[in-house]
Structure 1
Amino acid sequence: MTVTEEIRRWMNTEWLGKELIYKESTDSTNTRVKELAAESALHGTVVAAGAQTDGKGRRGRSWVSPPGVNVYLSVLFRPEFPPARAPMLTMVTAYAMAQAIQEAAELPVQIKWPNDLVIHGKKICGILTEMSVTEGRIQYVVTGIGMNTNMTEFPQEIEDMATSLRLISGREIDRARLMGTMLNYLEKAYDRYEQEQNLEWLQDTYNALLVNYGKEVRVLDPGGEYSGAAEGIDGEGRLLVRKKDGGLIRISSGEVSVRGVYGYAE
C-alpha cells in the first residue's frame, strides 16, 4: 500500500484532499502547492511530504524537516471571501490541528496565538499561510502545516523550545492516520469558517486551548515593546492584551512571547 493510500484510509472528507499528492522529499510543500495553483489546481488540493529540504515558517524562518519522521503538508484553498478574511485561516487551522492531535495522538495540546501548537510549553506544530491576490480578489491561499511527529532528537539551538508527539507520548505515532485526521478536521473547520467568515463560532473553544490566555505576554510591536495580560481572541481573531495601565489592545499581527513558553522566563 502506498503512503497516499494509507492516508486515504483515515480520510472521510468531501472535497479536501481529493487531489492528494505525496512526495518522499520536496523543497517545500507550500512551494509545490503554489506551483500547482498557478497551473489551475483545484480547491482542496493537498501536497504532503516525507521530508522538506527548504521548509519555511513565519517571517522566513527555516523549519527543521528531517526525512520520514514528521508530517509536512500544504493545502490549496480558493475562497470566495475577501482578502481581509484570509489571515484568520491560520487560527482556524490551528484549532483543527489541535482537534486532530487530541484524536490521533490522544495528547493534550494548546495553541500559541497565532500559528503554533504547543505541549508542555514546547512547540509541536507550526502553520504558515500565504496568499495571492489580483485586483482585490483572492486567487488562492496556501496553508502549510509542519508537525513534529516522531522526532526523538532536535538541534541543540531549539531542543529547549521544541518537542514531538513521540517524545511526549512515549510511542511512535502513525503518520498516515495523523495526516488523514488532520484533513478531516480541517475540512470541517474551513467549511464553518467559509460560512461564518468570522471566529465567533469557535472563540470560546479556541480561548480554552490558548496557552496565552490569562498569561503575561510580551508584545514586540513596531511602535515599541510592551507587556500585558492576554485575554483571549475576539471574533476577528485579534489577540486581546490588557496593558498594565488598564488599556486594552487588539493585536492583529506581530510577535507575542508568553511567559513559560519557548524559554521566555524574564
Structure 2
Amino acid sequence: MDGRDDLSQLAGVGFAESRRIGCSVVYLESTDSTNLQARRLAEQGAPEGTVVIADEQSGGRGRMGRNWVSPPGVNLYLSVVLRPRLAPQQAPQITLLSSLAVAEAVECCCGLIAGVKWPNDVLLGGKKVAGLLGEIAATMSGVDFIILGIGLNVNMRIDQLPERPLYPASSVAIEKGETVPRVPLAKRLLRLLDLHYGIFLEEGFDPIRRRWQERCAMLGRRVEIDGGGGLLSGEAFGIDGEGALLLRLQGGRVERVLSGDILAVH
C-alpha cells in the first residue's frame, strides 16, 4: 500500500500541532462503526479530541439510522470524541462546523470547490461525497460528550456508490478524475476540524455560521423539506444561532426547521 494511503500511520499520540482534536488516534483495520467505538471510549473517560479511524465499517450509520456504505480501503470513516460545554440544543452547531471543515479539506487537498447542504452533507458538483453524524450524551445539566462521525467518499468507484434520488452520491476521486491519497486528506481534515472547533469554543458559533452560509448553494432557493411533522416549502435564506434552517414561507412568515430531510431544491 502507498504510504500516503496507509491510515495505520495516523495511529498513536496524535498531531503535535493539534490543540484538541487528534490528541490521540486509534486506528482499526475493520470495525462495526467508528461512532460506536468512539462512544465506548468516551464512556471509559477518553479525553476530548480522541479520534477513531477505520479502513472499513460493517455497520456504518448515517442520519435516521440509515446505512452508510463503507467498503474497505477507499474512504475515510472516522469519529471524534468532543466534550464541549454546551446546552443540548446547541449540539447541531458541531455538525455544521464539521461539514465546513470537510469541505475546506477537500478543497485544499484536491483543488475542487466543495459546498455544504443543511443539515449534514458535503457536496461536489451537486453530488454528495460526505455525511456527518453527531450523537449526543447529555444530562439535564448539559452535554456530557458528543461523538462526531464523518464519512467521506474518497476513492469509491461508481459501481460502489449507493443510489440516491436527490443529490446523487459521488466520491472525490470520481469528481477529480484521479485517485486521491487518503492520509494527507485525513491530516488536513483533522487540522481544520481542530482549528474550527477552537474558534467555536473561543468566539462562538457566529464565525462558523457565516463561513458555512457562504458555502451553502441552497440558500436563496425554494426548498421542500420533510420536517417530521409534515412537508414545508419556502425559501431557505440562512441558519440561526442554534443551527436551525430559516425558511421563508409563502406570505413571508419565517419557520425555524430544527431537523428534517431536503426533498427538493428549485
**1:96 maps to what in 2?**
101
Counterparts in 2 of 1:14 and 1:226: CA distance versus 1, 3 Å = closer
**Within 5 Å, which residues of 2 pair with 1:108-127?**
108-127=113-132
**Within 5 Å, which residues of 2 pair with 1:150-161?**
150-153=155-158, 154-155=160-161, 157-158=163-164, 161=168
What is the CA distance between 1:161 and its match in structure 2? Answer: 1.1
**1:73 maps to what in 2?**
78
What is the CA distance between 1:257 and its match in structure 2? Answer: 2.8
**2:192 maps to what in 1?**
185
TM-score by length of 1: 0.90
Could you list the per-position Cα deviations for residues 17-47 of structure 1 after superposition, in whole angstroms to 9, with x for gaps in the alignment? 1210111111100000001111111111000
Asked if the contact 1:10/1:177 (under 8 Å) is kept, the reply is no
Asked if 1:54 corresponds to 2:69, the answer is no
Could you list the per-position Cα deviations for residues 218-237 of structure 1 after superposition, in whole angstroms to 9, with x for gaps in the alignment? 02133321211111212332
The alignment partner of 1:157 has SS state of coil
What is the CA distance between 1:178 and its match in structure 2? Answer: 0.8
What 5-or-longer segments of structure 2 have no aligned partner?
none
Calculate the aligned-residue CA RMSD, in Å.
2.1
**1:14 maps to what in 2?**
19
**2:177 maps to what in 1?**
170
The alignment partner of 1:201 has SS state of helix
**2:226 maps to what in 1?**
220
Counterparts in 2 of 1:150 and 1:86: CA distance versus 1, 3 Å = same
TM-score by length of 2: 0.90
Asked if the contact 2:59/2:67 (under 8 Å) is kept, the reply is yes
Hey, what's the Cα distance between the residues in 2 that align with 1:78 and 1:24?
26
What is the CA distance between 1:67 and its match in structure 2? Answer: 0.2
Asked if the contact 2:96/2:243 (under 8 Å) is kept, the reply is yes
Percent identity reads 36
**2:203 maps to what in 1?**
196
What is the CA distance between 1:11 and its match in structure 2? Answer: 7.3
Hey, what's the Cα distance between the residues in 2 that align with 1:234 and 1:14?
28
The alignment partner of 1:130 has SS state of strand
Counterparts in 2 of 1:157 and 1:4: CA distance versus 1, 3 Å = closer
Q: How many residues align?
A: 259
Letter in 1 for 2:178: R
Query: Higher mean Cα deviation, 55-64 or 213-222?
Result: 213-222
The alignment partner of 2:39 has SS state of helix
Could you list the per-position Cα deviations for residues 138-194 of structure 1 after superposition, in whole angstroms to 9, with x for gaps in the alignment? 221100000000001235634971000000001111101111111000011111111
Asked if 1:136 corresponds to 2:121, the answer is no
Query: Higher mean Cα deviation, 73-82 or 162-171?
Result: 73-82
Asked if the contact 2:109/2:185 (under 8 Å) is kept, the reply is yes
The alignment partner of 1:227 has SS state of strand
Asked if 1:252 corresponds to 2:258, the answer is yes
Query: Higher mean Cα deviation, 145-154 or 134-143?
Result: 134-143
What is the CA distance between 1:90 and its match in structure 2? Answer: 0.5
**1:264 maps to what in 2?**
none
Letter in 2 for 1:251: V
Hey, what's the Cα distance between the residues in 2 that align with 1:72 and 1:259?
28
Query: Higher mean Cα deviation, 136-145 or 27-36?
Result: 136-145
**2:33 maps to what in 1?**
28
Counterparts in 2 of 1:164 and 1:10: CA distance versus 1, 3 Å = farther
The alignment partner of 2:206 has SS state of coil
The alignment partner of 2:246 has SS state of strand
